[in-house]
């Protein structure tokens, strides 16, 4: 451990003595000399060479040191040309020139002399790379490097940081460096004044330093650190609440997508369609199928899956309506049993034709990762896109219902079917189009679900009961009620889960809905019209 600390000081001191340089490129001959020195020097001499590379101001220096740390920097034995290994699988390795960056193709690993690195150097190179990044013209890179220094500052770097902070023109980078310095001052020097800098910080290293100070012998420092931790805990509670709300809204948006199509068909036809979950499943499998047709292009496949998932589910819904439901109108119990049978047939069909096993749908790069709000709160992008998608689908349905002839006919049939027929509206045609529309929206729900869960034959069964609860709670056939009910139930369920558990939370939600329906039998937004009043 003493050797590593000494090495760390030597590396940092050596590098920090270099002036702040504008990144440029060395002459190839100079770069060749530096890399040759790195390759031929002993482990005892390598720190000095690393200092020279790090302080060279060459914009390739970081790449060289990063490759060196991961045993991917070497040279071709026959020519002495320095290379960076891009892929080291198999006998032939894919490499590029360390000087020009040109790809050199595949070379046998036996012809490559790798520049070796020991654990002591590897452990400390991370800190060196972070310090190099602090001199980058890229603000995002400097900010990332500054954050990486939190908890990693030693005495040598602490002496240099005030100068770096003063020279930094980005407030966010300067704040991160100030916090990194304060963590060191509290943890290593017992500086009471530095506690104020960490008060309200959400960084884990800052909290660890304050907790260590609370347990220390310095009473003044302990009291200040305890007070700072109390303020941090309040902020953490707010962030946890925001995270719970976010997950609740994302779950609610899934429920909205799953239920909104059901709300339309249930409101117009009064049909309890137990196969609605399988229509969601078909939309999800359409997304998986698109990715099989377009391998390596998950983003394009996902975009094409939106219209494809809608069409597949809509056609399946129309087929179900024409073959089963139209013969059972006015017989809700028989319709329920028949559509439940259809759902079992669709599940078994998928198991037979595709597989009983779950399938994974690849998430595109632009939907991967998370949006970092602060160090205690980040929002996963796939759920954020699902929330946005649900709102777009809802807005599209509202436009259809308010601005198109189909929407006018649907509202007329929903309010009073007999009167609508007498006015010349073809109720059978409206039923077909409405069922197709509702089923297509279920397919869109499946497309969205494929990005947050695995696709399997039982996917729809997880959402069918919740969908009916949303429809009943919001008001049969009312889109605004479905939106509000879906988001509300998703959030309530997410709030209850941490202390009640997943199963008990669903039971409690069901009990709350039952109690609510006792007071408002028609839901949040009751259906209007004489038929609804009868």
Q: Residue 158 has which token pair?
A: 């602490």
Task: State the Cα–Cα distance between residues 85 and 94, nearest whole angstrom.
Answer: 6
Q: What is the pLDDT of residue 138?
A: 81
370 Cβ contact partners less than 8 Å away, ≥ 6 residues apart: 378, 379, 380, 381
Least confident of 168-182, 312-326, 410-424: 410-424
Q: Please, which pLDDT band fits residue 402 given cuts at 50, 70 and 90? A: confident
Q: Please, which pLDDT band fits residue 345 given cuts at 50, 70 and 90? A: very high
- More confident call, 27 vs 283: 283
Tokens 């790069």 belong to residue: 365
Cβ pair 167, 196 in contact under 8 A: no
Q: Please, which pLDDT band fits residue 528 given cuts at 50, 70 and 90? A: low
**Which residues is 85 bridged to in the sheet?**
95
Q: What is the pLDDT of residue 14?
A: 46
- Give the end-to-end CA distance of the chain in Å, rounded to a whole number: 83
Cβ pair 280, 442 in contact under 8 A: yes
Q: Please, which pLDDT band fits residue 527 given cuts at 50, 70 and 90? A: low
Question: Residues 412, 413, 414, 415: is their CA dihedral positive or negative?
Answer: positive
Q: What is the pLDDT of residue 498?
A: 76
pLDDT of residue 240 exceeding 80: yes
Task: State the Cα–Cα distance between residues 118 and 111, nearest whole angstrom.
Answer: 22
The alpha carbon of residue 470 and the mean position of all alpha carbons in its chain are separated, in whole angstroms, by 26
Q: What is the pLDDT of residue 19?
A: 43
Task: State the Cα–Cα distance between residues 199 and 178, nearest whole angstrom.
Answer: 13
Q: Average pLDDT, whole number, for the chain?
A: 83
Mean pLDDT of 266-286: 86
Task: State the Cα–Cα distance between residues 185 and 159, nearest whole angstrom.
Answer: 11
Cβ pair 165, 175 in contact under 8 A: no
DSSP per-residue string spanning 31-94: HHHHHHHHHHS-TTTHHHHHHHHHTS-BTTHHHHHHHHHTT-EEEETTT--EEEEEE--SSEEE
Q: What is the pLDDT of residue 9?
A: 45
Q: Residue 131 has which token pair?
A: 């310090």
pLDDT of residue 75 exceeding 70: yes
In degrees and rounded to multiples of 5, residue 501 shows phi and psi of: 90, 160
C-alpha distances in angstroms, 379 versus 5, 247, 249, 473, 494? Answer: 38, 9, 12, 28, 15
pLDDT of residue 11 exceeding 50: no
Q: What is the pLDDT of residue 6?
A: 45
- Other Cβ atoms closer than 10 A to 133: 19
pLDDT of residue 431 exceeding 90: no
Q: What is the pLDDT of residue 440?
A: 92
Q: What is the pLDDT of residue 264?
A: 81
What percent of the chain shows pLDDT beyond 70? 91
Residues 247-262: tens digit of each pLDDT:
889 888 988 988 888 8
Q: What is the pLDDT of residue 15?
A: 44
Q: What is the pLDDT of residue 477?
A: 66
Residues 455-472: tens digit of each pLDDT:
999 888 888 888 888 888
Burial bucket for residue 446 (CB in 10 Å: 0-12, 13-18, 19+):
buried
pLDDT of residue 70 exceeding 70: yes
Least confident of 12-16, 59-63, 218-222, 476-480: 12-16
Task: State the Cα–Cα distance between residues 183 and 180, nearest whole angstrom.
Answer: 5
Q: Please, which pLDDT band fits residue 51 given cuts at 50, 70 and 90? A: confident
In degrees and rounded to multiples of 5, residue 404 shows phi and psi of: -120, 160
Q: Please, which pLDDT band fits residue 25 given cuts at 50, 70 and 90? A: low
Task: State the Cα–Cα distance between residues 59 and 24, nearest whole angstrom.
Answer: 6
Burial bucket for residue 144 (CB in 10 Å: 0-12, 13-18, 19+):
middle
333 Cβ contact partners less than 8 Å away, ≥ 6 residues apart: none
Which among 94, 98, 33, 85 has a CA at the least distance from the CA of 59?
98
Q: Count the alpha carbons within 13 Å of 138 in the hemisphere toward its beta carbon.
A: 8
Task: State the Cα–Cα distance between residues 149 and 203, nearest whole angstrom.
Answer: 12
496-529 burial, b at 16+ Cβ within 10 Å, e below that, comes to: bbeeeeeeebbebbeeebeeeeeeeebbbbebeb
Task: State the Cα–Cα distance between residues 69 and 50, nearest whole angstrom.
Answer: 11
pLDDT of residue 533 exceeding 50: no
Q: What is the pLDDT of residue 127?
A: 66
Which among 55, 394, 376, 349 has a CA at the least distance from the CA of 258?
394
Mean pLDDT of 475-500: 83
Residues 105-129: tens digit of each pLDDT:
888 888 889 888 888 777 667 667 7
- More confident call, 113 vs 131: 113
What percent of the chain shows pLDDT beyond 90? 16
Task: State the Cα–Cα distance between residues 233 and 201, nearest whole angstrom.
Answer: 10
Cβ pair 486, 253 in contact under 8 A: yes
- 3 state SS of 378: strand
DSSP per-residue string spanning 81-135: -EEEEEE--SSEEEEEETTT--EEEEEEGGGEEE----HHHHHHHHHHHHHHHTT
Mean pLDDT of 11-33: 58
């Amino acid at each position: 451990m003493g050797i590593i600390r000494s090495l760390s000081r030597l590396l940092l001191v050596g590098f920090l003595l270099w002036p702040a340089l504008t990144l440029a490129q060395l002459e190839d001959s100079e770069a060749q000399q530096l890399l040759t020195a790195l390759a031929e020097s002993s482990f005892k001499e390598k720190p000095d060479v690393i200092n020279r590379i790090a302080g060279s101001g060459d914009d390739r220096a970081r790449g060289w040191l990063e490759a060196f740390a991961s045993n991917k920097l070497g040279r071709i034995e026959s020519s002495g040309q320095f290379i960076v290994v891009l892929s080291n699988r198999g006998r032939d390795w894919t490499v590029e020139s360390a000087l020009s960056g040109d790809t050199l193709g595949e070379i046998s690993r036996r012809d490559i002399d790798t520049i070796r690195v020991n654990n002591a150097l590897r452990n400390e190179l991370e800190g060196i790379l972070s310090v190099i990044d602090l001199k980058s013209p890229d603000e995002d890179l400097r900010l990332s490097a500054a954050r990486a220094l939190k908890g990693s500052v030693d005495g040598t770097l602490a002496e240099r940081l005030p100068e770096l902070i003063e020279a930094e023109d980005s407030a966010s980078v300067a704040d991160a460096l100030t916090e990194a310095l304060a963590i060191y001052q509290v943890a290593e020097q017992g500086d009471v004044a530095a506690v104020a800098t960490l008060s309200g910080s959400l960084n884990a290293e800052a909290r660890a330093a304050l907790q260590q100070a609370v347990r220390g012998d310095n009473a003044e420092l302990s009291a200040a650190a305890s007070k700072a931790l109390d303020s941090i805990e309040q902020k953490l509670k707010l962030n946890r609440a925001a995270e719970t709300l976010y997950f609740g809204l994302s779950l609610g948006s899934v429920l909205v997508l799953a239920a909104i199509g059901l709300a339309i068909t249930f409101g117009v036809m009064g049909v309890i369609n137990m196969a609605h979950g399988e229509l969601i499943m078909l939309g999800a499998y359409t997304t998986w199928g698109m990715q099989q047709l377009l391998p390596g292009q998950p983003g394009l496949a996902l975009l094409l899956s939106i219209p494809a998932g809608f069409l597949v589910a809509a056609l399946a819904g129309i087929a179900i309506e024409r073959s089963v439901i139209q013969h059972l109108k006015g017989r809700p119990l028989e319709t329920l049993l028949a559509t439940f049978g259809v759902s079992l047939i669709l599940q078994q069909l998928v198991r037979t034709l595709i597989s009983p096993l779950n399938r994974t749908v690849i998430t595109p790069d632009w939907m991967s990762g998370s949006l970092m709000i602060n160090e205690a709160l980040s929002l996963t992008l796939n759920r954020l896109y699902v929330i946005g998608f649900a709102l777009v689908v809802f807005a599209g349905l509202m436009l259809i219902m308010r601005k198109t002839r189909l929407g006018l006919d649907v509202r007329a049939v929903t309010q009073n079917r007999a009167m609508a027929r007498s006015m010349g509206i073809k109720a059978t045609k409206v039923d077909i189009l409405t069922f197709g529309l509702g089923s297509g929206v279920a397919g869109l729900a499946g497309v969205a679900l494929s990005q947050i869960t695995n696709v399997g034959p039982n996917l729809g069964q997880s959402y069918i009961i919740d969908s009916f609860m949303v429809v009943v709670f919001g008001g049969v056939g009312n889109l605004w009620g479905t939106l509000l009910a879906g988001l509300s139930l998703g959030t309530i369920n997410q709030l209850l889960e941490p202390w009640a558990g997943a199963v008990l939370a669903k039971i409690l939600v069901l009990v709350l809905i039952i109690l609510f329906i006792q007071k408002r039998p028609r839901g949040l937004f009751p259906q209007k019209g004489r038929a609804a009043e009868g």
